[in-house]
């Protein structure tokens, strides 16, 4: 009997005290409320996008160019074909510029530069570049390639602005993934008598590739949604164009123009275009996730 008593007393100190129980409940509630508040705008955005955007969607919405008829009650305003194709073309060119360069910089930083002062300087400037507002890239290209050369807006100039925007994101995400490749793999390949460039191409890059693609696709998604760098580099236009040397329409710029229109139908087209853009970026993110699931790196 006394033994039981003694043991229950020894066990009592393991009970959770009421004060701690209260604090726990309070903290949990606080975190939950915070999460709910953060979800409100997210849910609202998706809700409005779907409600207003889906209403604007139709087959002709995707297959016709905007007509420029924004008055007279908004009949026959056209679709967003030129904007979709323009975004795809310009982002593709921007990717073609920034991805090889960015991956090259990342490989150099991880495999060669390591902690040298030059590598540290490069890292610092890449970080600075990450924080530069997107409109500054547009402004830079505007000054250099449009004012500087006395020439006109062009799709490829927009692409270069987007590429500059993507570059730091590509470099940093690729660098992080390359650092995850175990040093033991490099060592065992080097110990086999493989030259360093072979080790990089045949061992390091294949191992890192899924992870690197994830980062790259996120950079692509970011570029696809940017308005500011395109406003005064690629301009806006109505016609579908496959000439990156001329004016080129894009989804963000189309949305920007349409939203300021007094005609309801045109504003609705902006919602439809916004939904299209979100779906395109969502698809990219989905692909990025699928690829990263196949990654062999933790």
Partner 1 sequence: MTPDGHAPEVADVDPESRSDLERREHDAREAGPEQPLRRITGPAAGSQPANGAAGAEAKAGLRVKLEGLRAFYGEAEQVKGIDLEFRANEVTAIIGPSGCGKSTMVRCINRMHEEIPGARAEGRVLLEDLDVYDPSIDVVAVRRAVGMVFQKPNPFPTMSIFDNVAAGPRLSSRRRGDLRQQVETALRGAGLWDEVADRLDEPGAGLSGGQQQRLCIARSLAVDPEVILMDEPCSALDPIATLKIEELIEELKQRVTIVIVTHNMQQAARVADRTAFMLGGELVEVGPTQEIFTKPTDPRTEEYVTGKFG
- Binding of partner 1 at residue 149 (CB under 8 A)? no
Per DSSP, the three-state class of 70 is coil
The smaller minimum CB distance to partner 1, of residues 129 and 194, is found at 194
Q: Binding residue for partner 1 (CB under 8 A) from 96, 192, 283, 290?
A: 192
The smaller minimum CB distance to partner 1, of residues 148 and 206, is found at 206
- Binding of partner 1 at residue 203 (CB under 8 A)? yes
CA distance 126 to 164: 11
- Binding of partner 1 at residue 179 (CB under 8 A)? no
- Binding of partner 1 at residue 194 (CB under 8 A)? yes
CB-based contacts of 166: which residues, under 8 Å, 6+ apart?
94, 95, 98, 99, 102, 219, 220, 222, 223
- Taking the complex as a whole, the smallest distance from the CB of residue 120 to partner 1 amounts, in Å, to 13
**3-state SS track over 184-222:** HHHHHHHHCCCCHHHHHHHHHHHHHHHHHHHHHHHHHHH
Q: Binding residue for partner 1 (CB under 8 A) from 25, 114, 143, 260?
A: 114
CA geometry: angle 160, 234, 104, nearest 5 deg? 10
The smaller minimum CB distance to partner 1, of residues 25 and 296, is found at 296
- Binding of partner 1 at residue 207 (CB under 8 A)? yes
The site map against partner 1 for 279-298 (x = CB under 8 A) is: -----------------x--
- Binding of partner 1 at residue 188 (CB under 8 A)? yes
Q: Residues of 36-55 as b/e, b for ≥16 C-beta within 10 angstroms?
A: eeeeeeeeeeeeebeebbee
The smaller minimum CB distance to partner 1, of residues 20 and 114, is found at 114
Contact assessment for residue 91 and residue 223, using Cβ atoms and an 8 Å cutoff: yes
- Taking the complex as a whole, the smallest distance from the CB of residue 183 to partner 1 amounts, in Å, to 9
Which span (131-139, 189-197, 234-242, 277-285) binds partner 1, by CB under 8 A?
189-197
Which span (15-23, 99-107, 201-209, 246-254) binds partner 1, by CB under 8 A?
201-209
**Structure tokens, 180:** 């995850």
In angstroms, how far is the first alpha carbon of the chain from the final one?
Answer: 55
Which positions lie near partner 1, rule CB under 8 A? 114-115, 182, 184-195, 198-199, 202-203, 206-207, 296
């Amino acid at each position: 009997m006394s033994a039981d008593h003694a043991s229950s007393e020894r066990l009592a100190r393991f009970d959770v005290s009421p004060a701690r129980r209260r604090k726990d409940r309070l903290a949990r509630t606080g975190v939950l409320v915070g999460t709910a508040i953060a979800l409100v705008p997210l849910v609202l955005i998706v809700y409005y996008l779907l409600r207003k955007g889906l209403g604007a969607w139709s087959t002709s919405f995707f297959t016709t160019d905007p007509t420029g008829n924004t008055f007279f009650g908004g009949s026959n305003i056209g679709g967003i074909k030129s904007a979709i194709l323009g975004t795809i073309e310009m982002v593709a060119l921007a990717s073609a510029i920034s991805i090889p360069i960015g991956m090259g910089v990342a490989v150099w930083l991880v495999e060669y530069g390591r902690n040298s002062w030059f590598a540290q300087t490069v890292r610092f400037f890449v970080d600075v570049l990450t924080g530069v507002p997107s409109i500054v890239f547009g402004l830079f290209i505007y000054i250099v390639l449009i004012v500087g050369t006395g020439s006109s807006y062009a799709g490829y100039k927009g692409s270069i602005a987007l590429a500059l925007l993507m570059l730091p994101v590509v470099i940093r995400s690729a660098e992080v993934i390359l650092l995850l490749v175990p040093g033991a793999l490099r060592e065992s390949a080097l110990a086999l008598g493989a030259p360093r460039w072979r080790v990089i191409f045949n061992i390091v890059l294949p191992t890192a590739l899924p992870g690197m693609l994830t980062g790259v696709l996120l950079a692509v998604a970011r570029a696809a949604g940017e308005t500011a760098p395109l406003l005064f580099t690629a301009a806006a236009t109505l016609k579908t164009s496959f000439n990156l040397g001329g004016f080129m329409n894009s989804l963000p710029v189309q949305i920007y123009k349409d939203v300021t229109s007094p005609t309801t139908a045109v504003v609705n087209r902006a919602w439809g275009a916004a939904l299209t853009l979100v779906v395109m970026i969502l698809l990219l993110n989905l692909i990025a996730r699928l690829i990263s699931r196949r990654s062999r790196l933790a």
